[in-house]
Amino acid sequence: MKNNIFGLLSIAAVLAVTTFFIASQNEGVWVAPPEADKLKNPFEGEKKSGKGENLFSLNCERCHGNTGKGDGVDGKKLNPKPADLTSKRVQKQSDGAIFWKLSNGRGEMIAFKNTIGEKDRWRLVNYIRELGKNQMAFFESKKTNSSAIKFFNSEFKRK
Ligand code: HEC
């Protein structure tokens, strides 16, 4: 009897370790290589993303949703889910890192370097910034609590 319990416990331990391993491989945080941070955005500082919005609705919206929250129709069945591009986690990355990710892809996230030209990929980066700001504007428009607004301002401020 003792042996049986011990056997079951070891099986449970092996299962737990395997599950953790598989989960960490699938949902591991996606980090762009450090050299990506050095890429120069040719449209840096431009207020409008130009064609960015059109490119986004054509290529990205079905997974990332029209406000970039990751709630597009085709994204629902994916694991991991399409990223919330308005989130602090994404917005705090450099333009170069975002550019690198949408160029090279990973898993279900398509590598767009073969289908979208370099300049247009930078326009998409700028549009992702716009989506991040819209999200912030939404919180500001609530104007309920000024300390909450300050918090969001500081959280979303780019370095
Ligand atoms: C078929 C669905 C799909 C489409 C279409 C798609 N994405 Fe994604 N995207 C994903 C998924 C899924 C992830 C999460 C990938 C991961 O973490 O392994 C992702 C992640 C990303 C990330 C990385 C966010 C981060 O830091 O974790 C960026 C940036 C991104 N997508 C931008 C875009 C842009 C821009 C487009 C359109 C040009 C686009 N995506 C189109 C599914 C999609």
pLDDT in tens, 96-152: 999 999 999 999 999 999 999 999 999 999 999 999 998 777 766 665 556 666 666
Contact (Cβ atoms closer than 8 angstroms) between residue 127 and residue 49: yes
What's the domain count of the chain? Answer: 2
Cα separation of 121 and 99, whole Å? 7
Same domain, 77 and 147: yes
Among residues 55, 58, 106, the alpha carbon closest in space to that of 78 is found at 106
Same domain, 93 and 67: yes
**Cα 3 to ligand 1 centroid, rounded to whole Å:** 49
Among 64, 73, 104, residue to substitute to test ligand 1 (most atoms within 8 Å of Cβ):
64
Does any ligand 1 atom lie closer than 6 A to the CB of residue 125? no
Same domain, 18 and 75: no
Same domain, 12 and 38: no
Contact (Cβ atoms closer than 8 angstroms) between residue 36 and residue 97: yes
Same domain, 80 and 96: yes
Give 10-24 pLDDT, tens digit per residue: 767 766 655 555 554
Kindly state the DSSP code that residue 28 receives in the 8-state scheme. -
Same domain, 24 and 36: no
How far out from the chain centre does Cα 110 lie? 13
CATH number at residue 143: 1.10.760.10
Residue 7 binned pLDDT confidence (cut-offs 50, 70, 90): confident
Residue 9 structural domain: 1-30
Same domain, 120 and 43: yes
Instruction: Report the DSSP beta bridge partners of residue 106.
Output: 109
